[in-house]
Amino acid sequence: MVWVIILAFPIFFGAMWVGIVSFLSWASGWRTLARVYQADVPETFAGKRLMLVTLGRGRFPRVHYRGMLWAEFGEETLWLKPHILFRWAHPALAIPRNVITLEERKGLLRRYVDLKTRADEGISFHLHPKQVSWIDPNGGPGETG
């Protein structure tokens, strides 16, 4: 009987993890963005870990990806690569700069950058302004697309 529990636990835990990560991908809108922007990360990827980032449709529910995403704001493309534990349902994304809209906003407790794409205007990333290297130092991010 004990050996059944020992064998069943990893299978149960793995199935739960796959289910939870798949649900987060759907709830955040990552799955929708991946249909349009999924790409392989280049060998020269030099992304930085995003410590404060949420993704979702509207105000609630939003999925918090604290420390689980790496981003590189290239000349023409935003590259997003999730932590290895989330890659089951979160493929890497390559979002062209010309389809991105950036807007700096004031939240309840802090300022944040609202990043949207043309794939689905309802899905937005909320990032800390210091994490977004495309911000114009003279007056905020404005529109890039």
Cβ atoms of residues 92 and 80 within 8 Å: yes
Tokens coding 92: 């890497």
Mean pLDDT of 71-96: 93
- Residue 63: pLDDT above 50? yes
Contact 42, 19 (CB under 8 A): no
Give this prediction's pTM: 0.83
Of 21-25, 88-92, 119-123, 136-140, minimum mean pLDDT range: 136-140
* Angle between helix 2-28 and helix 30-37 axes, rounded to 10 deg: 70
Q: Is 117 helix (H, G, I), strand (E, B) or coil?
A: strand
Domains of the chain in sequence order: 2-131 (2.30.29)
Position 51, amino acid: M
Q: Which tops the pLDDT comparison, 58 or 87?
A: 87
SS (H, E, C) 14-59: HHHHHHHHHHHHHHHCHHHHHHHHECCCCCCCCCEEECCEEEEECC
The stretch 85-114 carries a mean pLDDT of 92
Q: What average pLDDT does range 38-52 have in this prediction?
A: 90
C-alpha closest to that of 101 among 117, 85, 82, 77: 117
Three-class SS of residue 7?
A: helix
Average pLDDT in the chain = 88
Q: Is the pLDDT at 58 greater than 80, yes or no?
A: no
**pLDDT recorded at residue 135:** 67
Q: In what order do the strands lie in the sheet with 120-127?
A: 62-64, 53-57, 120-127, 111-117, 100-106
Q: 115 with 96: CB under 8 angstroms? A: no
